[in-house]
Structure 1
Amino acid sequence: MGIRRLRRLTPILSGICPLDSTYSVARPRWLDKRCWQIMPQPFRAVIFDLDGVLADSEPRWTEIDKKLLAEYGVSYHDEYHRNVLGVSYRLAVEFYKKTFGLSVPTEELMRRRGEIAAEFFASRIGLFPSTRAVIKELRQMNLHLAVATSSVSASARPFLDRHGLTTFFEVILTGEEIERGKPAPDIYLRTAEKLGVPTNECLVIEDALSGIAAGKDAGMRVAAIPDTRFVDAREYEKQADYLLRDLSEIPPLVRHVAAVN
């Protein structure tokens, strides 16, 4: 999964120092001593995207949208997924309407997409390995945890319940609760407000460029876990503050940032 499928770009933890544009294969850039002198505040909160971060759902979204569009006589191709990866339901269905010239009302498409997604999340989508262990470890580190997802409540909340994760999160914010979805920063700003944590003390975990943009525009630091089944991880190096292979690297990152402060 993730960067492990690529040529090894950096040692185990491959975070990007926000103010260091040079590249070193000898050690992670976020371990560069030049970064230590300017390292921001330690993290007090970790905010997770759901799809492609906690839930191994991205392969299923191609099936969800294929089923959705088939109901309106449209043939779906997997390459369309890159255009809707991580964005709000509204932006996704508006892309499909424009691409295929559909005259169906946006609200109808959003409703039907949510219904199909709820069916998939109920039985066909699982967690990434180490998800539960990482969440427990972060809670033991006294961090505030939240989920901020473009998915609707009808699919996201039952999924978290089914996997016994709901109680670990102080805030769960879903797509229909926000007027402007990702890549707008609204969902992350609202989540930080609900947590009562300043945005510069929040770490966002994302797998999509649209989500990274949302987190950065909210004034947060963002760790990206690109899923190389769908994206080129190198596209993320210029956008994210940290580039990780999987969830298991989050606790060491949090500890490192705290230690250098």
Structure 2
Amino acid sequence: MRFINIKAEVDPADYKAFAFPYKGVVFDMDGVLVDTEYLEQRYLEEYAIDSGLDVSDGERMALVGSSGADFYGAIVRWWDRAGVPLDIAGARASYAAYVKGEYTDNYQSVMNQGVPETLRALKEMGVKVALASSSSKKTIDKVLSDCKIAQLFDVVVSGEEFRQSKPNPEIYLHTLERLGLCADDCCCVEDSVPGITAGKAAGLTVLAKREERFGFSQDSADEIIDQIPDLLRRAEPAGV
């Protein structure tokens, strides 16, 4: 059997003669394609401290993988607890003014290792590739544009299209429908508890990109991978 050193840089052309065991792969975005969750937590902690808000580490970390509605809803609750009434729009404006585009100006600077190469390798093997993210469509478009990977996705779905995003499986069920594939034919790549829960509830094989900075468990995933290119370990020479 021929082996490819996926720890080195992936050459998508090496996968032309390989077959992948799934017809489709659905990727989460934050924490999987781009390492934004860590930066979000850092800025959120500083924002709470500088704003005089009493927020525990557990409250902050519970927002990893959450939708925008849940994220800004939590900020509204924190301000309300401090005796300051604030609506969702006010929470967005307050937090945006604090962060000042520190990492959102160019998401390519926080893109995880081997993402474009892995996506291209999957395409070489004839795999359909989708994105199902709890983030807003505006943010998703910015990330894909900055990272120059928009053209590599067959389907892109935002959690803002649904009443409830992850851990509700609806976003994954909708993505599968748009791909024209059943859950048994696909796997997804996640990192957070809400995402893993949503993927499992939709019947997908869930691969979790290892995340040990936030104190949550990824044990309910089917497999944990260290880097995005590790996904390609499942590929085998065609005809084997």
The TM-score range, normalised by the shorter chain, is 0.7 to 0.9
In 2 relative to 1, CA 95–220 (structure 1 residues): closer, same or farther, beyond 3 Å? same
Q: Does 1:244 align with 2:222?
A: no
Amino acid at match of 1:168: L
In 2 relative to 1, CA 134–197 (structure 1 residues): closer, same or farther, beyond 3 Å? same
In 2 relative to 1, CA 107–214 (structure 1 residues): closer, same or farther, beyond 3 Å? farther
CA distance in 2 between partners of 1:110 and 1:45 (Å): 35
The 5 A counterparts of 1:100-139 are: 101=81, 103-106=85-88, 108-109=90-91, 119=101, 120-123=103-106, 125-139=109-123
1:110-133 CA distance string (max 9 Å, x none): 576578789332226421111111
Q: SS of the counterpart of 2:44?
A: helix
Q: SS of the counterpart of 1:182?
A: coil
CA drift at 1:183: 0.7
| Identical pairs, percent | 25
The correspondence for 2:151, drawn from 149, 167, 174, is 167
1:135-182 CA distance string (max 9 Å, x none): 111111110001111111222211211111000001111232222111
CA drift at 1:231: 3.1
Q: Does 1:229 align with 2:213?
A: yes
Q: Is the 8 A contact 2:207 2:225 kept in 1?
A: yes
Q: SS of the counterpart of 1:84?
A: coil
The 5 A counterparts of 1:73-152 are: 74=53, 79-99=58-78, 101=81, 103-106=85-88, 108-109=90-91, 119=101, 120-123=103-106, 125-152=109-136
Normalising by structure 1, we get a TM-score of: 0.71
Q: Does 1:176 align with 2:157?
A: no
Amino acid at match of 1:90: A
Find runs of 4+ consecutive structure 1 residues off by over 6 angstroms. Answer: 114-118
Amino acid at match of 1:155: T
Aligned residues: 218
In 2 relative to 1, CA 161–218 (structure 1 residues): closer, same or farther, beyond 3 Å? same
In 2 relative to 1, CA 114–45 (structure 1 residues): closer, same or farther, beyond 3 Å? farther
Q: Is the 8 A contact 1:62 1:78 kept in 2?
A: no
CA distance in 2 between partners of 1:63 and 1:195 (Å): 36
In 2 relative to 1, CA 68–187 (structure 1 residues): closer, same or farther, beyond 3 Å? farther
Q: SS of the counterpart of 2:105?
A: helix
In 2 relative to 1, CA 160–113 (structure 1 residues): closer, same or farther, beyond 3 Å? farther
Amino acid at match of 1:236: Q
- RMSD, aligned CA: 3.2
Q: Does 1:59 align with 2:38?
A: yes
- Aligned match of 2:140: 156
Give structure 1 stretches of 5+ with no counterpart. 1-40
- Aligned match of 1:16: none
CA distance in 2 between partners of 1:193 and 1:175 (Å): 15
76-85 or 195-204, larger mean C-alpha shift: 76-85
Amino acid at match of 1:85: V
In 2 relative to 1, CA 112–96 (structure 1 residues): closer, same or farther, beyond 3 Å? closer
